[in-house]
């Protein structure tokens, strides 16, 4: 049973460029969340997708956008990259992101995509 | 606003020692969930435990144990007889329960277990 898979594992971009990161959720999961983890810090919530819609969003600018496909996979897009966007981007999946008490759900994380902005 | 504090940035112990990782949280919700995750060098966060705010029973799972004290807003994690494979960064996280999975993570504690 495959867990959460993310691609690419590493990438290097320059300031001002755009990047797309991809995530396939764990089999049976329908909800995808994205987190940004700067070096030496805890993950910070970016947004969550359920039924192909953004359901919740953290304190991130509009340069961060996403998409969820009918097969539940997801993409994270970041435009106009800044040096401060360098981080490990983690995708997490779960089941039933819009159900009552879904905040109790255990998130299953992928290994992340490490983005370096030069 | 929700907040999680892990005051210990780094801890080093020698194998077979016991070690406790501290977690203090802030929330105005009366219902919430607390989690511990482990992040080995591979980067993937591994789930360890979930506790809801109404269950203050301590839990033991093998060498791991958790002490939840609502009165002090703490959810501490103890590893008994530590092993080198326990070396990782450990995160405590807080979740609001209704319609969302916006986990608030602490800054993490890096545990190094030396042989």
Restricting to A residues 10-29, those with a Cβ less than 8 Å away from any Cβ of B are none
Query: How far apart are the two ends of chain B, measured CA to CA in Å?
Result: 41
Name A85's Cβ contacts closer than 8 Å, sequence gap at least 6: A78, A115, A117
Q: Over the stretch B62-108, which tens digit does the pLDDT of each residue have?
A: 999 999 999 999 999 999 999 999 999 999 999 987 656 788 999 99
pLDDT band at B29 (very low <50, low <70, confident <90, very high): confident
A100, B98: Cβ pair inside 8 Å? Answer: yes
A107, B47: Cβ pair inside 8 Å? Answer: yes
Is residue A1 pLDDT above 70, yes or no? Answer: no
B97, A108: Cβ pair inside 8 Å? Answer: no
Contacts of A107 in chain B (CB under 8 A): 45, 47, 101, 103
DSSP string, A33-88: EEEEE-TTS--EEEEEEETTEEEEE-S--TTEEEEE-TTS-EEEEE-S--GGG-EE
Contacts of B102 in chain A (CB under 8 A): 45, 48, 56, 58, 103
């Amino acid at each position: 049973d495959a867990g959460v898979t993310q691609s690419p594992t590493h990438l290097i971009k320059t300031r001002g460029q755009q990047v797309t990161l991809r995530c396939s959720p764990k089999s049976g999961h329908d909800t995808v969340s994205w987190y940004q983890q700067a070096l030496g810090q805890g993950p910070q919530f970016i947004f969550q997708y359920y039924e192909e819609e953004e359901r919740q969003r953290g304190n991130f600018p509009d340069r961060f956008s996403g998409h969820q496909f009918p097969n539940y996979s997801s993409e994270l897009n970041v435009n106009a990259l800044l040096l401060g966007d360098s981080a490990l981007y983690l995708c997490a999946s779960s089941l039933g992101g819009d159900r009552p008490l879904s905040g109790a759900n255990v998130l299953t994380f992928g290994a992340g995509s490490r983005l370096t902005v030069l | 606003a929700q907040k999680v504090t892990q005051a210990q940035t780094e801890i080093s112990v020698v194998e077979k020692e016991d070690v406790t990782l501290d977690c203090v949280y802030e929330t105005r919700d009366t219902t919430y969930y607390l989690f511990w995750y482990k992040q080995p060098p591979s980067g993937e966060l591994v789930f360890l435990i979930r506790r809801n705010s109404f269950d203050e029973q301590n839990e033991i799972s093998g060498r791991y144990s958790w002490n939840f004290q609502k009165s002090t807003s703490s959810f501490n994690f103890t590893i008994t007889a530590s092993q080198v494979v326990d070396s990782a960064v450990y995160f405590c996280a807080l979740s609001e329960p209704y319609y969302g999975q916006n986990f608030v993570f602490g800054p993490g504690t890096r545990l190094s277990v030396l042989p």
